Amino acid sequence: MRVILLDGAMGTTISNIYKIKERCREKLNCTQPEIVNEIHEKYVLAGVDCLKANTFNCSKEALRSYGENEVWAYEYAFLGGKICKAVADKYNKKSIGTFCLPDRDQIDGILDSDIDMVMIETIYNLDKGLESLKLLKTQLKKKKLVKPVMISFAVDGEGKLYSGEKLQDVYTKFLDDCVVSIGINCSELTEKVVDILEKMKKETNLKVSFHPNSNGDIEKFVKDISSLLKLGVVDIVGGCCGTDFNHIERLKMELEKVKKKYLLPM
């Protein structure tokens, strides 16, 4: 089992480490691309295998909520993907364009940036998640592209999507020939979450991912993920809200420890 290491949160890193107050972090792809580039570079130094592009919150809906003009959805996504792709290629890593809502301009920007993979991330609503997957497949077909697709849900402590459905009952609706991984992010580890991840691992032949939030307690963050590694139920790990370079550096160290202890060919 080779465990793939994702990076941490772009937004947290921008706010907490770089102290930038810009509400729309994706705007930096246009106004301060050197900062986004540097963050990707530092995550590479932390030991990641894959970099997530700064594209998550540039849907038209998100831009309106930030007081930004929605016409920038495509441009912000395209530039974010380009920056990430360049750094990933430089270090022989993989680049991932991320989004959540079914926004054609955002998806087109990500795909046109020639990103390696696409992740529909933080799926909190069943219908919107399915609509996002459908639209992504439509745009891939329209552009005659083949891209691996990653699926990642956000659930509460009981393992329910915020639209009310139990994830263990509905995750199979997202299984598709283009999907290469399925998992959970932006959530805390609970017994229900462990049960879901075990179910995904047992019932599919996909990579299973988990990149949780952190409240600042790095040791707990690492301990939670380590417990899943020892169970052998996750193949892809990393960080979401509240995580930065420090979390990923510690997680990389833990991966090496688990590898040696359990003789895993990571």
Question: What CATH number does residue 206 fall under?
Answer: 3.20.20.330
Residue 266's pLDDT is 44
Using alpha carbons, select from 64, 89, 91, 63 the residue that is nearest to residue 77: 63
Q: If you write DSSP's letter for every residue of 230-247 in order, what string do you get?
A: HHT--SEE---TT--HHH
Higher confidence at residue 69 or residue 21? 69
Arithmetic mean of pLDDT, 244-253: 97
Q: What mean pLDDT is predicted for residues 244-260? A: 91
Is residue 263 predicted with pLDDT exceeding 70?
no
pTM: 0.96
- How many Å apart are CA 106 and CA 63, to the nearest integer? 11
Average confidence (pLDDT) over 227-240: 96
Structural domain including 72 reads 4-262
Rounded-to-integer distance, Cα 19 and Cα 6, Å? 23
User: Is residue 260 over pLDDT 90?
Assistant: no
Does residue 261 have a pLDDT over 60? yes
Q: Nearest CA to 225 among 241, 213, 207, 242?
A: 213
Spell out the residues 6+ positions from residue 211 whose beta carbon is closer than 8 angstroms to its own.
6, 152, 183, 185, 236, 237, 238, 239, 240
Report the share of the chain in percent with pLDDT over 70.
Answer: 97
Q: Model confidence at 1, in pLDDT bands (50, 70, 90)?
A: low
Sign for the CA dihedral angle at 112, 140, 4, 168 comes to positive
Banded model confidence at residue 262, pLDDT cuts 50, 70, 90: low
- Cα–Cα distance measured from residue 71 to residue 120, given in angstroms and rounded to the nearest whole number: 21
**Residue whose C-alpha is closest to residue 94's, from 55, 54, 53, 51:** 51
| Structural domain total, the chain | 1
Tokens in use for 24? 């729309």
Tokens of 144: 């005659």
Residue 216: predicted pLDDT: 87
For 97-112, what is each residue's pLDDT tens digit? Answer: 999 999 999 999 999 9
The amino acid at 2: R
Residue 165 has pLDDT above 70, yes or no: yes
| Burial profile 91-126: b = 16 or more Cβ within 10 angstroms, e = fewer | eebbbbbbbbbbbbbbbbbbbbbbbbbbbbbbbbbb
The span from the CA of 259 to the CA of 174, in Å, is 31
Per the CB < 8 A criterion, the answer to whether 35 and 20 are in contact is: yes
pLDDT reading at 264 higher than 60? no
Q: Supply the pLDDT for residue 149.
A: 98
